[in-house]
């Protein structure tokens, strides 16, 4: 299994880096290993997470606990591993990771075979209902966003195409468009590569691209459980096209995506961090509500910590660390927004709202603390912040503008609780959409609040 060998090699390199960079302090109450030799923690689910990020976070937690001799051992099947180490107490501790797809994580929770589910998509309503006995897995405590990823559309490096619309993607992957010449390219028949049915990456692509156009994946598509294997195949096939998580682009080339009236967007770190990129997605740990599994709770806390988010970035995903970014002024921007780009920098976070609600979603609630911490660190608490609200298209532009400002005011109320005095609050209505407005997913993405610092 060359792909698994390469992944384990990458993790081993990361282990050496972590031992040097992660602080060797441990919580006041150190963790212990089960006395019967059973795994201290069982993680199942997403291959996107489990191939490298999940094991790297486990290594980081073990290092934080003072463990020595940390190593990975192959599991009983492909895409499974056991990470072991020796705690300061002398106990040997083992943590198991199985990466067979997001849906398998929820199934394992239900069957009692996992303590923590890793998922590269939100839990489905059906899954949440089936797991109701474990508590509300959509609650603030249970649903933990650990990283942001972008589903990249990849081609062979020599393919001349530079951008594709969401509509074109749906037609390509459903088999409706079968030849590159129909897209202005060359190379003959299109070869479609896709993740397997258990994959959260497939679920995300299916929901955002195929289902949105009421289409299904072409039966001729070649399916892969391994992200690395899919990327390798596309990079060697001049007629190939596939979709993959951001860290797995490899030798292939990503194309820019257009959603509705949005500008073409490549899967760049800044556009994925703000979730403006049309195929951006969140990566999750799901921890049953009220779980007393100390290793699971410790891993969730570690993943959200600055050290954990550093590992997210080192693993090729996009961390939720807040940073200020300069935005290039363009003539297509509203004049007020152009002035903002000239006098301020945008923070690498957008506040978004729960579907059908004026309440901030679970990620936004945690981002409030991250933003406040950034403002405190950079002395920006007093009249140094402007909020810019946006919304989806309405029949009355004035109503769209009002609603966008009300969303920004909702964020303002939350920031005031932490003594943040704003400089300005603006509403831009349905200007500058980042997604099409013909579906709930697009409308939710357009209903956003940006944070600018002066």
CATH assignment of the domain containing 252: 3.40.190.10
In contact, 373 and 352? CB cutoff 8 Å: no
Could you tell me what percentage of the chain is helix, strand and coil, using 3-state DSSP and rounding each to the nearest 5? 40, 25, 40
Q: What is the pLDDT of residue 24?
A: 44
Domain endpoint, select from 271, 299, 330? 271
- Within a 13 Å sphere around the CA of 431, how many CA atoms are in the beta-carbon half? 19
Do 323 and 56 touch, CB atoms closer than 8 A? no
Averaged pLDDT for residues 63-92: 95
The answer, yes or no, to whether residue 3 has pLDDT greater than 70, is no
Q: What is the pTM of this model?
A: 0.82
Q: Are residues 97 and 170 in the same domain?
A: no
Contact 82, 94 (CB under 8 A): yes
Instruction: Note the pLDDT of residue 26.
Output: 46
Q: Which residue has the higher pLDDT, 75 or 440?
A: 75
- Other beta carbons within 10 angstroms of residue 336's beta carbon come to 12
pLDDT confidence of 185, banded at 50, 70, 90?
Answer: confident
Alpha-carbon distances, residue 139 vs 136, 286, 367 (angstroms): 6, 10, 16
197 inside domain:
yes
Residue with the two structure tokens 């589903």: 151
Residues 9 and 112 in one domain: yes
pLDDT at 1 over 50: no
Give me the pLDDT at residue 357, please.
67
**SS3 call for 452:** strand
Residues 183 and 105 occupy one common structural domain: no
Average pLDDT over residues 413-425: 96
pLDDT single digits (tens) 278-296: 999 899 999 998 888 999 9
E strand or H helix that includes residue 240 = strand 240-245
Angle value at C-alpha 437, between 328 and 281, nearest 5 degrees: 65
Mean per-residue pLDDT, 69-73: 95
Distance (Å, whole) CA 96 – CA 89: 21
Number of H helices, E strands in the chain: 15, 18
Which region among 142-146, 316-320, 442-446 has the lowest average model confidence (pLDDT)? Answer: 442-446
At 10 the pLDDT is: 54
Segment 117-126 shows an average pLDDT of 95
Asked if residue 268 has pLDDT above 80, the reply is yes
Q: 448 and 331, same structural domain? A: yes
Query: How large is the average pLDDT for residues 337-356?
Result: 91
pLDDT digits (tens, 9 = 90+) for 194-225: 999 988 889 889 988 998 889 999 999 999 99
Whole-number mean pLDDT of the chain? 90
Instruction: Verify that 127 and 10 share a domain, yes or no.
Output: yes
* Position with higher pLDDT, 350 vs 353: 350
Number of domains in the chain: 3
Q: Provide the domain limits for residue 52.
A: 2-145+283-314
Same domain (yes/no): 233, 115: no
Q: Is the pLDDT of residue 13 over 80?
A: no
**pLDDT reading at 356 higher than 70:** no
- Whether residue 277 is contained in a domain is answered as no
Would you state the pLDDT for residue 138? 92
Which pLDDT band, with edges at 50, 70 and 90, does 184 fall under?
confident
């Amino acid at each position: 299994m060359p792909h698994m060998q390469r992944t384990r090699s990458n993790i081993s390199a990361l282990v050496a880096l972590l031992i040097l960079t992660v602080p060797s302090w441990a919580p006041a109450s150190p963790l212990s290993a089960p006395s019967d030799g059973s795994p201290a923690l069982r993680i199942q689910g997403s291959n996107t997470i489990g191939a490298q990020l999940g094991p790297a976070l486990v290594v980081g937690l073990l290092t934080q606990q003072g463990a020595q001799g940390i190593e990975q051992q192959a599991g009983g099947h492909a895409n499974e591993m056991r990470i072991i180490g020796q705690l300061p107490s002398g106990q040997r501790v083992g943590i198991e990771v199985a990466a067979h797809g997001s849906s398998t994580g929820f199934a394992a929770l239900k069957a009692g075979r996992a303590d923590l589910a890793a998922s590269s998509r939100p839990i489905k309503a059906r899954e949440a209902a089936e797991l109701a006995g474990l508590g509300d897995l959509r609650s603030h405590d249970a649903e933990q966003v650990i990283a942001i990823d972008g589903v990249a559309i990849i081609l062979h490096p020599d393919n001349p195409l530079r951008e594709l619309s969401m509509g074109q993607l749906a037609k390509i992957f459903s088999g409706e468009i079968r030849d590159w010449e129909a897209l202005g390219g060359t190379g003959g028949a299109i070869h479609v590569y896709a993740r397997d049915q258990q994959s959260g990456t497939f679920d995300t692509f299916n929901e955002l691209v195929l289902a949105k156009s009421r289409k299904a994946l072409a039966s001729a598509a070649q399916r892969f459980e391994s992200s690395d294997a899919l990327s390798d195949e596309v990079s060697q096939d001049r007629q190939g096209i596939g979709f993959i998580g951001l860290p797995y682009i490899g030798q292939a080339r990503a194309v820019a995506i257009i959603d509705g009236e949005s500008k073409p967007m490549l899967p760049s770190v800044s556009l994925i961090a703000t979730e403006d990129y049309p195929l951006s997605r969140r990566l999750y740990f799901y921890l049953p509500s009220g779980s007393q599994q100390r290793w699971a709770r410790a891993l969730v806390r570690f993943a959200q910590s600055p050290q954990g988010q550093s590992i997210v970035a080192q693993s090729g995903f996009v961390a939720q660390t807040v940073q200020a970014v300069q935005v290039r002024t363009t003539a297509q921007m509203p004049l007020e927004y152009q002035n903002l780009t000239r006098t301020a920098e945008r923070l690498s976070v957008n506040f978004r709202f729960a579907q059908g609600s004026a309440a901030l979603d679970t990620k936004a609630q945690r981002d409030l603390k991250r933003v406040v911490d950034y403002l405190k660190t950079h002395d920006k608490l007093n009249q140094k912040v402007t909020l810019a609200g946006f919304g989806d298209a309405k029949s009355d532009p004035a109503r769209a503008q009002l609603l966008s400002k009300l969303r920004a005011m909702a964020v303002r109320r939350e920031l005031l609780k932490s003594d943040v005095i704003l400089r300005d609050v603006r509403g831009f209505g349905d200007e500058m959409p980042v997604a099409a407005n013909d579906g709930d997913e697009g409308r939710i993405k357009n209903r956003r609040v940006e944070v600018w610092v002066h």
